[in-house]
Amino acid sequence: MEINKLKKSELLELYHQIEKQLSWYKSFFDNATDAVFVVQPETWCVLDANDYAAQLLDTNKEDILGIILPQFRRIFKLLNKSSSPIVLSEMSLDVSSAKSIMLEVSARFMKHENQELILAIARDVSEQHALTDKLVQADKLVLLGQLSAGVTHEIRNPLAAINLNLQILKRNTKTETPEYEYINTALQGVERIARIVEVTLNFSKPALPDIQDSNINTIVTSSMELVASVLKRKEIKIELKLADKMPKIPLDAKQIQQVLINLITNAADAVSQYGLIQLKTYIEHGSRKGDGEYAVISVTDNGAGIPPEDLPKIFNPFFTRKPDGTGLGLPITQRIMHQHSGVIDVESTMGKGSTIYVKLPIPRGK
């Protein structure tokens, strides 16, 4: 049927049908469970995007149109090189100055009004990447632990012989001679090596956690007695801000105590002669619906802070800036948190101090 022969009522009916179809496709586009972008090549300007794309970029739907995303340049090159009409790739987008996300992008060319555009469907894989990184780190720790166990066992026997002979020499050397001081210095070195060997062996053979329902407030207060000698080295003020009615959660109290000792010791080392260390406990709700709740212990100091270039390395075994450090305190802390299905987060500002958050999941119903 020709359109020019249609009656006015029939034209209106046809118009409403087309309008209904357009509304349907628009609704499908806006409510897609993945982010959809239509990007103009060369300018990398977003011509259209759906609601989920705006949500991913933490902006309004109106604000996303017209923004420039040069990250699509690489997608464009892949499409030009590929013999397949669709390419699958990943790209990182900076949502803000403090947050970036990793997207898995499925893209293809599309024609519209004689113009070639990029149609990209993207989904957020940041959490999967973070989990993969944790698994890789865990595998590294296992391998390192196996290697460390073998090496430290080989060191122990000759070290014991060196220590014994030095003790004999010390007993047979007059205290006022230079040789006596040399022997004392050598014994101090042996003692330090022995301490590193002991810590390394503990790191390479972690004990299985003894899980029992415990209150983290009790663990925090009992840990303070164990770090008293560390805090006495300087004039450090301790502030405890413990939330009321913290639930009991399944954990190994001794291991979480070890975590706190490590963190408080690091905080004490970071502050100057006069310092402040603040410990807080509270409940944190998950960032997304269904994430659950966490019992959180935060340790804050007003020390020198961690240099930005060191921040990605602090959980690497044996990485330390301390002259007498082993570099195993934070890796052990991280492993204990992994065993408890917990999370450890770090914030630090040079010249102002650091805060480390220990987050332990609260079982539902607690």
Boundary (domain end) residue, out of 76, 108, 124: 124
Q: Is residue 289 scored above 50 in pLDDT?
A: no
Number of domains in the chain: 3
Q: What is the pLDDT of residues 61-96, one digit of tens each?
A: 778 888 898 888 888 988 888 777 888 888 888 776
Do residues 216 and 364 both lie within one domain? yes
Boundary (domain end) residue, out of 181, 205, 229: 205
Q: What is the pLDDT of residues 312-357, one digit of tens each?
A: 788 877 778 777 676 777 888 888 888 888 888 888 888 888 999 9
Domain hosting 115: range is: 31-124
Torsion sign over Cα 324, 327, 328, 329 = positive
Query: What is the spatial distance between Cα 200 and Cα 322, in angstroms, rounded to a whole number?
Result: 17
pLDDT in the model for residue 256: 92
Question: Would you say residue 8 lies in a domain?
Answer: no
Question: Would you say residue 101 lies in a domain?
Answer: yes
Residue 203 phi/psi, 5-degree rounding, is: -70, -40
Q: What is the pLDDT of residues 157-173, one digit of tens each?
A: 788 888 888 888 888 88
Do residues 259 and 303 both lie within one domain? yes
Pairing type for strands 235-242 and 274-285 reads parallel
Chain mean position to CA 128:
12
Mean pLDDT within 51-68:
83
Do residues 341 and 244 both lie within one domain? yes
Angle (CA) 103-105-110 rounded to 5° is 145
Query: What is the spatial distance between Cα 332 and Cα 330, in angstroms, rounded to a whole number?
Result: 5
Percent of the chain with pLDDT over 70: 78
Do residues 196 and 227 both lie within one domain? no
pLDDT in the model for residue 311: 82
We report the CATH number of the domain holding residue 249 as 3.30.565.10
Q: Is residue 32 scored above 60 in pLDDT?
A: yes
We report the CATH number of the domain holding residue 68 as 3.30.450.20
Boundary (domain end) residue, out of 124, 141, 162: 124
Mean pLDDT within 280-297:
77
